[in-house]
């Protein structure tokens, strides 16, 4: 569902992403891990079509971002690390805007928008302008918009930053739901505990290069530890030393 071939991104003389190869299958929740500045956000920005690669190719749902960007974008959702919403729309208007933009049938929108706003405890604020929403409320609204669309691939850049514990739990269960429905999830995160519990597979990027990729169990075996089972956190810290 998501394919990355020999992806390279150079800023000036600095290689932020260096020959990255990755595939995420339908129904797979992939956790993209790596220290600050490793190249995670750069990779998802290229996948989402808002940044051009220096070299290499990315495709989503079989559509090449370079040659068929509209079809690729229609099939995916992207939630950036800084939630952006139009400040002069209300929560309700934002959801209708997303619904219409992505051709969600009106009958579906009328049924599901109130359900989703309720689920994320935004119903009481749905008539308020988004400029008055907190960071976490904006983030939840963006997630609700993704759920309304049912895209084939979802890119999340540190999606739980700013969410309260109850919202995080709800987010995790929704993520499992959308993967069960066959979507591919590509999620950058620093929360290794969440990655360990929620992701089917993980990849670790370090200085622009993929240094580990596999199921959590496989990646854990990559580090040398001779002292029995270890947490993903210990393995991550060893591999990125």
Distances (CA, A) of 239 to 73, 188, 216: 34, 17, 14
Give the DSSP letter string of 62-126: TEETTT-HHHHHHHEEEE-SS----TTSBHHHHHHHHHHHTT--HHHHHHHHHHHHHHTT-GGGT
Does residue 48 touch Mg ion according to CB under 5 A?
A: no
Site pattern 15..44 for ligand ATP (x: CB under 6 A): -x-----------------x-xxxxxxx--
Instruction: Considering only CA atoms, give the Rg of the chain.
Output: 18
Site size with Mg ion, rule: CB under 5 A: 2
- Among 15-23, 35-43, 91-99, 114-122, which window interacts with Mg ion (CB under 5 A)? 35-43
Query: Nearer to Mg ion by C-beta: 3 or 81?
Result: 81
Q: Which of 1, 20, 38, 41 binds Mg ion (CB under 5 A)?
A: 41
Using CB atoms, what's the residue nearest to Mg ion? 41
Residues 6 or more apart whose Cβ sits within 8 Å of residue 81: 41, 157, 158, 161, 188
- Among 40-48, 116-124, 141-149, 171-179, which window interacts with Mg ion (CB under 5 A)? 40-48
Phi, psi angle pair for 236, to nearest 5°: -60, -50
Task: List contacts with ligand ATP (CB under 6 A).
Answer: 11, 16, 34, 36-42
Interacting residue ranges for Mg ion, rule: CB under 5 A: 40-41
């Amino acid at each position: 569902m998501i394919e990355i071939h020999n992806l390279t991104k150079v800023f000036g003389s600095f290689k932020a992403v260096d020959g990255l190869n990755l595939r995420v299958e339908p129904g797979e929740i992939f956790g993209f891990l790596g220290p600050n500045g490793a190249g995670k956000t750069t990779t998802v920005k290229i996948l989402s079509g808002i940044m051009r690669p220096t070299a290499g190719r990315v495709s989503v749902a079989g559509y090449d971002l370079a040659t068929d960007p509209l079809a690729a974008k229609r099939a995916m959702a992207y939630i950036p690390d800084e939630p952006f919403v139009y400040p002069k729309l209300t929560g309700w208007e934002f959801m209708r805007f997303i619904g219409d933009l992505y051709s969600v049938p009106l009958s579906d929108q009328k049924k599901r928008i109130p359900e989703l706003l309720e689920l994320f405890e935004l119903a009481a604020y749905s008539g308020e302008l988004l400029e008055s929403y907190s960071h976490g409320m904006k983030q939840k609204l963006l997630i609700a918009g993704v759920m309304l669309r049912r895209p084939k691939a979802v890119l999340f850049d540190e999606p739980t930053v700013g969410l309260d514990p109850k919202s995080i739990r709800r987010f995790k269960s929704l993520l499992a739901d959308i993967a069960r429905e066959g979507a591919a999830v590509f999620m950058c995160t620093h929360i290794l505990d969440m990655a360990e519990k929620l992701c089917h597979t993980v990849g670790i990027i370090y200085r622009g290069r993929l240094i580990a990729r596999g199921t959590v169990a496989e990646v854990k075996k990559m580090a040398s530890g001779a002292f029995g089972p270890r947490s993903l956190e210990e393995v991550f810290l060893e591999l990125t030393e």
